[in-house]
Amino acid sequence: MDFTGQTPFLRAALSGDITVMRLLLDRGADPNRATDAGTTALMAAAGVNWMGGQTFTESKDALMEAVRLCLEKGADVNA
């Protein structure tokens, strides 16, 4: 798993932290900026780079909400 270039928004999406995702959006975060390896926040919310015992998840419902938020913000489902 390569997180080089990950943003705080992507990190929040990875854990389904909607509160932080919305806060970052309010402060101008780019929700579609990818890591150096091409991973997007949508991919992270959908489970890419998730590792048992190393990745914190708010809840499955929160992850689904994170996916929806990414899609609302124009995430490319074909990325």
Q: What is the pLDDT, as a whole number, of residue 59?
A: 81
Confidence band of 32 (pLDDT split at 50, 70, 90):
very high
**Residue 78, domain member (yes or no):** no
Cβ pair 62, 16 in contact under 8 A: yes
Segment 56-79, tens digit of pLDDT = 677 889 999 999 999 999 999 998
**Residue 79, domain member (yes or no):** no
**Residue 3, domain member (yes or no):** no
Q: What is the pLDDT, as a whole number, of residue 54?
A: 61
- What's the mean pLDDT in 8-23? 95
Q: What is the pLDDT, as a whole number, of residue 51?
A: 64
Q: Based on the number of CB atoms within 10 Å of its own CB, is 61 exposed (0-12), middle (13-18) or buried (19 or more)?
A: exposed
Q: What is the pLDDT, as a whole number, of residue 66?
A: 96
The model carries a pTM of 0.85
Q: Helix (H, G, I), strand (E, B), or coil: what is residue 9?
A: helix
- Domain span including residue 47: 8-72
